[in-house]
Amino acid sequence: MRILPAVLPLALATTLAHAQTPPAAATVLHCGHLLDTVNGKLLGASTVITDGKRIKEVRAGTSAVPGAQTIDLSNATCLPGLIDSHTHLTGETSPTGYSDQFRWNIADYAIRSTVYARRTLEAGFTTVRNLADNDGESIALRNAINAGVLPGPRIFTAGTAIGSTGGHADGTDGYRKDLAGDPGPKQGIINGVDDAWKAVRQHYKDGADLIKIMPSGGVLDESTSADNPQMTLEEIKAVVAAAHDYGFTVAAHAHGAEGIRRAVVGGVDSIEHGTFMDDADMKLMKEHGTWYVPTIIAGKYVEEKAKVPGYYPPQVALKAAKVGPIIQRTAGKAYKAGVKIAFGTDAAVFPHGQNAREFVYMVEAGIPAMYALQAATTHAAELLKKSADLGSVEAGKLADVIAVDGNPLEDITLMQKVGFVMKDGVVYKQGGKDLLP
């Protein structure tokens, strides 16, 4: 272990040198098919021409561009870089996770996050929303990726989550009294309207991109309820008012029907998980234009791990067993009801890099493959308010392009086998091989 300090600078320098390599002045992608996510169509042979970080032109058919770097994807389907609207890149599931928090420093989580970010990018997800971390370390991860220090997806982070004392956002749940303390707005824990404003302003000061709130119970905290309401309507409205003043959108973790109702009425932009969403909630979400991010894979995974003795604390296992079987049915019902859906996985609850399994679960729930792919592209870009740059392969958009062999509309499992990844005009994966050192 003592050799690590000696080799770490060399490893970081190698990564830095690769990650900061500028995109080719002109790169041409010859795609066998191109998924038009705006119009919901699978196009035939297409040529995508990038110029630096952006797409310069998209042509029908196969066109040569003299002097440009050409990449043959003629046996593949090209798609926009995928967007995962719900990740936690600074952690990952582990049977020792509940005890690790007493031994690990923030630096331990931060260093591991660089590996998780790389796996996410390799899986074809070029953009993510990071919806909560421990102490703002995802902000540092975002900055390092943006600076070219290390490879990873484009991150829009909420920093720490905002919630109430003892609620799902309170990381000291389950601690003995002398360790638990009394976290406040600076740590994202609020009790009242004034606290709500202070917490949002602190997030602005810290450099967050959006706000995440916890208006209902959750599965993996050490309390007993997964679905009880944990924020008042007044608190939610205050968070939303403050957030919108600062140009933030607001994502709401909510399993319970009442927590969902309060969040929607309070003006949040998206409901995350939504396990116990009822018909009235769905109607309300449609009326308010609220997005829904199902995270089916997270429910499936915790249900599976709840059966493993000792993987979770007993009260967590009970909640996981309850939520897991329901969340997929809710997603299918919400789609049929016309609720707007954006793709999200809750990555960290399951191992990073497996995000595309969510597509399979969405299709199993009765969501058409094209809609599922749009949920991870145009819909997610709209939720991020980044449609001008992301979500489709079009001239002027950022040069985020991925490719899979075959037709994912016929076999959605192909999305788990992304063979080509370009982000900002830089190729990170080709022929199924990682191009990073």
293-349 pLDDT per residue, tens: 999 999 999 999 999 999 999 999 999 999 989 999 999 999 999 999 999 999 999
Q: What is the pLDDT of residue 24?
A: 63
Domains of the chain: 4-80+392-432 (2.30.40.10), 82-384 (3.20.20.140)
Q: Could you tell me which residues come within 8 angstroms of residue 230 by beta carbon, excluding any fewer than 6 positions away?
A: 163, 164, 167, 168, 214, 215, 216, 217, 259
Q: What is the pLDDT of residue 231?
A: 97
Q: Say which amino acid occupies 215.
A: P
With beta carbons less than 8 A apart as the criterion, state whether 390 and 384 touch. yes
Q: pTM for this structure?
A: 0.93
Percentage of residues of the chain with pLDDT beyond 90: 86
Cα distances from 205 to residues 30, 347, 385, in angstroms, run: 45, 26, 21
CA-CA distance, 38 to 35, in Å (whole number)?
9
Q: What is the mean pLDDT of the chain?
A: 93
Q: How many CB atoms lie within 10 A of CB 426?
A: 22
With beta carbons less than 8 A apart as the criterion, state whether 208 and 250 touch. no
CA-CA distance, 374 to 37, in Å (whole number)?
6
Mean pLDDT on 147-166: 96
24 or 202, higher pLDDT: 202
Q: How many CB atoms lie within 10 A of CB 163?
A: 30
Q: What is the pLDDT of residue 4?
A: 33
Q: Could you tell me which residues come within 8 angstroms of residue 271 by beta carbon, excluding any fewer than 6 positions away?
A: 252, 254, 260, 263, 264, 277, 285, 290, 291, 292, 293
Q: What is the pLDDT of residue 39?
A: 98
Element (H, E) at 184: none
Q: Spell out the alpha helix ranges (H) of 207-306.
A: 233-245, 257-266, 279-288, 296-305
Q: How confident is the model at residue 22 (pLDDT cuts 50, 70, 90)?
A: low
Task: Retrieve residue 291's tokens.
Answer: 């997005």
At 235-270, the pLDDT tens digits run 999 999 999 999 999 999 999 999 999 999 999 999
Q: What is the pLDDT of residue 15?
A: 45
Q: How confident is the model at residue 45 (pLDDT cuts 50, 70, 90)?
A: very high
Cα 405 versus chain centre, distance: 24
List the single range of 20-24, 348-352, 360-364 with lowest mean pLDDT. Answer: 20-24
Mean pLDDT on 393-422: 98
**Angle at alpha carbon of residue 70, lines to 65 and 75, rounded to 5°:** 115
